Structure 1
């Protein structure tokens, strides 16, 4: 059997919480994410939001609920977002008023990193991962 060198659709999504999820959603939209879903309760508190990355995958987030069954301290998430157009990603970061130095990594990726107002780290890069080895 020959190795399977195809890329597989993303099925792992970072999920996190925020003190001000609307601000994080707006920040990510300005960086190129698409707001696919946003569910709020009667008080307007965002319970769940889904943001899709146009090139595949996405993130989910909601309001920080320290008493909830799924709790994540705001500002502790880091995500790597694959993009074919690192220059456009860097320009979007600059448009938000952040430094956007593109770093050349030893493994061939070109990357730019920015933090949102809560401290989460967002790295946009060209490294799409290695192809999976085939199964026997």
Structure 2
């Protein structure tokens, strides 16, 4: 299985969005001493999942020391196999997803849509 790892400045908001919009399930969320989520794992509705981490520059100095392989934060594009792109699209838009491409039939016969999460990442859903 593949678990993309995404960074965010507000993991709680992103977790809640992925659960409401895309049907992910929160597996665990690790808070720091102030209660701010610094790492989380979500399970995908059809397998796999995502790992989420707090932006490196927001980590405490102690935690940042252990995060020596920090990558720059940048939007990503993820493809997710989804047999009902129309239903997922409606659910995600109702939860606040940005629309990149509405559901459409591709030249190779799949039904796809593309959405944007609160951090600007693009999510392409199709079968």
- Tell me the TM-score normalised to structure 2 length: 0.79
1 or 2 for the larger relative contact order (CA 8 Å, sep ≥6)? 1
The 3-state SS of whatever aligns with 2:56 is coil
How far residue 53 of structure 1 moved from its aligned partner, in angstroms, is: 1.1
Matches within 5 A, 1:1-136: 11-31=1-21, 32-66=23-57, 68-97=67-96, 98-99=98-99, 101-126=102-127
The answer (yes or no) to whether the contact 1:17–1:71 under 8 Å persists in 2 is no
User: How far, CA to CA, are the matches of 2:70 and 2:109 in structure 1?
Assistant: 35
Q: Which runs of 5+ in 1 are unaligned?
A: 1-10, 127-136
Give me the CA root mean square deviation. Answer: 1.8
How far residue 71 of structure 1 moved from its aligned partner, in angstroms, is: 2.3
1:85–1:44 distance in 2 versus 1, CA, 3 Å: same
The answer (yes or no) to whether the contact 1:52–1:59 under 8 Å persists in 2 is yes
User: How far, CA to CA, are the matches of 1:21 and 1:73 in structure 2?
Assistant: 16
- Tell me the TM-score normalised to structure 1 length: 0.75
59-68 or 29-38, larger mean C-alpha shift: 59-68
- Which has a greater percent of strand? 2
| Count of aligned pairs | 116
The answer (yes or no) to whether the contact 1:75–1:118 under 8 Å persists in 2 is no
The answer (yes or no) to whether the contact 1:114–1:121 under 8 Å persists in 2 is yes
Alpha-carbon deviations, 1:10-69, whole Å to 9, x = none?
x11110110111111111011211111111111122221111112111111110114532
User: How far, CA to CA, are the matches of 1:84 and 1:116 in structure 2?
Assistant: 20
